[in-house]
Amino acid sequence: MKLSELFRGVAVKRIDGDTEVEIAGISYDSRRIHPGDLFFSLARDRARNRANLSDALRRGAHAVVVERWDEELARPARTIVEAKRPRLLMGVAASRLYAEPSRRVNLIGITGTSGKTSSTYLLSSIFEAAGRPAGTIGTIGIFVRGEKIYSGLTTPESVDFESSLAAMERRGVRDAFAEVSSIGIAEARVDALNFRAAMFTGFGRDHLDYHRDLEDYFAAKLRLFTELLPRSAHPDPIAVVRADDSWGKRVLDATTVRKLSFGLGNSTDAYPKRVEANLSGIRARLSVLGREIDISSPLVGELNLLNILGASLLSVALGIEVDAVAEGVARCTGAPGRMEVVPAKRGMIAIVDYAHKPDALEGVLRAIRALGARRIICVFGCGGDRDRGKRPLMGAIAARLADLPIVTSDNPRSEVAMDIIAEIETGLCGAGLARISRDEEGRARGYLVEPDRRSAIALALGIAGDGDVVLIAGKGHEDYQLVGDRVLKFDDREVVRELATGLGG
């Protein structure tokens, strides 16, 4: 396409050069530029920005888009576009280059602090059971009919998003379920997309290293329901909202599209009429838009019950028969690292979960407690170079809801692991616990500290007895640990399996 066609009707600050130049492709990564491409320079660091621009031009970019041209760079014999928000412009250009696939694919956006990944897995399983092949986009990657085609951001940059939807369309996929993060919304990665429906799974503290405060974080998520969904090209867009908290009620009040609600109370459009839940799974009778669905799921915990409710409601609203809903829920073994039961030594249960924020940790611990665990041993830490304010909060939650917290490292990144642990300890101590030694465990109420994550998991498994649950929280599906500038191979689930071999698992 010509550059003028990609930017038609979109305001830019300045175009210097030929607007009729032919564009072969789009990239924001200079290393992936091919001759004839359009390059979007997104780096915030000036030196990196200059290096990326020079690299893209050297590789043959026909045009570049920048927020502001660096006059110290030599003027290239190419077209320069200055835009106030390059990412917003990139979304429009990518949508046009790939012929707007979100107009033809039913794109369902899932947002919320927790439950996004599990909801996409449940929805995909339900639609597959109904004979409608699905694609998923999210934290684990982008999958088209079970094949992984992308790994990266939870909500990809618009170029990757649009190209993935186009790939889905080519393979006969007409339904796609995407995690939509607050950062993805704030950075306009999804502004050019057309959503058939959107789901709000709930809200709690997260990403305060990026957003100013909780209201700013919520406002980003709310845009999906108040701006993006109402202007969709799809007829009759639908908002599906968890309604049993104040944040969900605000979403329902604010959106102008057709709205449906789910929750544990019977005043919503989808709710449980009867529930039997234990550490083996969930069996329930659901009321969904006035129809009853008996479900049996291997997933565990109240959070997964809520995910099942939301996915069932959205599915029925989009025309899926209740038999397919029940079959899809039964088939779904869950997303990797989300309340994932990992075989360990006999008599106890190990659960690996991605809970790395206060509300998620509290929800998981409450769910395990409700399922009748004799004792909960919780191994957790906090990531470095992220919201420091959540560290004491998570310590206080573990002190209140776990029988034995074991504090360890998560992804310390550039921080010293023991400094992060010390901030978590303020919450534990503030809740009335004291640090104890391994020898004191069982005789004194307190918490343990083991900065080496593998050793901490080994410690927890060694202590656990019949009826105990070891929760290993924070990393979930991740198969690495970020320490300084190193990426170390580390998978909580694999570590449990390896250690269980020596424990008679």
Together in a domain, 66 and 139: no
pLDDT of 389 strictly over 90: yes
Task: State whether 247 and 316 are in the same domain.
Answer: yes
Digit-coded pLDDT (tens) for 97-118: 999 999 999 999 999 988 899 9
Higher pLDDT, 470 or 146: 470
| Domain contains 92 | no
On whether residue 37 sits in a domain, the answer given is: yes
User: How confident is residue 207, by pLDDT bands cut at 50, 70 and 90?
Assistant: low
Distance in angstroms (rounded) separating the CA atoms of residues 15 and 21: 12
DSSP secondary structure, 442-453, as one string: TTB-EEEE--SH
My answer on whether 135 and 266 are in the same domain is yes
What's the pLDDT at 205? 58
Q: Is the pLDDT of residue 210 over 80?
A: no
Q: Which two tokens stand for residue 356?
A: 């790395």
Final residue in a domain of this structure, among 314, 331, 348: 331
- Asked if the model's pLDDT at residue 49 lies above 70, the reply is yes
Q: How many residues does the chain have?
A: 505
- Residue 93 located in a structural domain: no
Q: CATH number of the domain at 123, please.
A: 3.40.1190.10
Tokens of 366: 């409450």
In sequence order, the β-bridge partners of residue 141 are 138
For 149-205, write each residue's pLDDT tens digit: 877 877 899 999 999 999 999 999 999 999 999 999 999 999 999 999 999 999 875
- Asked if residue 318 lies in contact with residue 435, where contact means CB atoms within 8 angstroms, the answer is no
Token pair of 221, please?
């998520």
Domain count, the chain: 3
**Residue 406 Cα to chain centre, angstroms:** 25
Q: Is residue 91 assigned to a domain? A: no
What are the backbone angles phi and psi of residue 135, rounded to the nearest 5°?
-115, 150
Q: Looking at residues 12-32, what average pLDDT do you find?
A: 95
Average pLDDT, integer, range 408-422: 97
Residues 231 and 373 in one domain: no
Q: Classify residue 252: in a domain, yes or no.
A: yes
**377/358 Cα distance (integer angstroms):** 17
Q: Which of 52, 62, 51, 63 is nearest to 15 (CA)?
A: 63
pLDDT value at position 40? 97
Contact 409, 473 (CB under 8 A): no
Q: Helix/strand/coil (H, E, C) string of 260-307?
A: EEECCCCCCCEEEEEEEEECCEEEEEEEECCEEEEEEECCCCHHHHHH
Classify residue 311: in a domain, yes or no. Answer: yes
Task: Give the residue, 299 or 280, on which the prediction is more confident.
Answer: 299
Dist CA 115 CA 306 (whole Å): 9
Tokens of 138: 């999210």
How does the average pLDDT of the chain come out, rounded?
93
If asked whether residues 25 and 68 sit together in one domain, one would say yes
Residue-range definition of the domain harbouring residue 405: 340-502
Q: What is the largest CA-CA distance in the chain?
A: 78
Residues 387 and 314 in one domain: no
Q: Are residues 314 and 394 in the same domain?
A: no
Task: Decide: 26 and 94 in contact? Cβ < 8 Å.
Answer: yes
Element holding 476 (H helix, E strand): none
Q: What is the CATH number of the domain that holds 370?
A: 3.90.190.20
Q: Is residue 214 part of a domain?
A: yes
Domain boundary among 331, 362, 392: 331
pLDDT at 443: 85
Q: Give the C-alpha separation, 83 to 238, whole Å.
A: 33
Q: What is the CATH number of the domain that holds 73?
A: 3.40.1390.10
Tell me: do 175 and 232 sit in the same domain. yes
Q: What is the pLDDT of residue 501?
A: 80
Please give the pLDDT value at position 268. 97
Query: So what's the pLDDT on residue 41?
Result: 94
| 25 and 64 in a common domain | yes
Query: Model confidence over 240-291: pLDDT tens digits?
Result: 999 988 999 999 999 999 999 999 999 999 999 999 998 889 999 999 999 9
Could you give the angle at the alpha carbon of 199 between the alpha carbons of 198 and 203, nearest 5°?
130
Element (H, E) at 64: strand 63-66
Q: How far apart are CA 309 and CA 311, in angstroms?
A: 6
pTM summary value? 0.88
Q: Side-chain half-sphere of 33: how many Cα atoms within 13 Å?
A: 25
Per-residue pLDDT for 26 more than 80?
yes
- Among the candidates 29, 52, 86, a domain finishes at 86
**169 assigned to some structural domain:** yes
116-142 pLDDT per residue, tens = 999 999 999 999 999 999 999 998 999
Contact 462, 503 (CB under 8 A): yes
What's the rounded mean pLDDT across residues 299-317? 96
Both 480 and 427 in one domain: the answer is yes
pLDDT, tens digit, 9 for 90 and up, residues 62-100: 999 999 888 777 677 689 999 999 999 999 999 999 999
Residues 79 and 222 in one domain: no
Residues 80 and 140 placed together within one structural domain of the fold: no
How far is 134 from 335, CA to CA, in rounded Å? 15
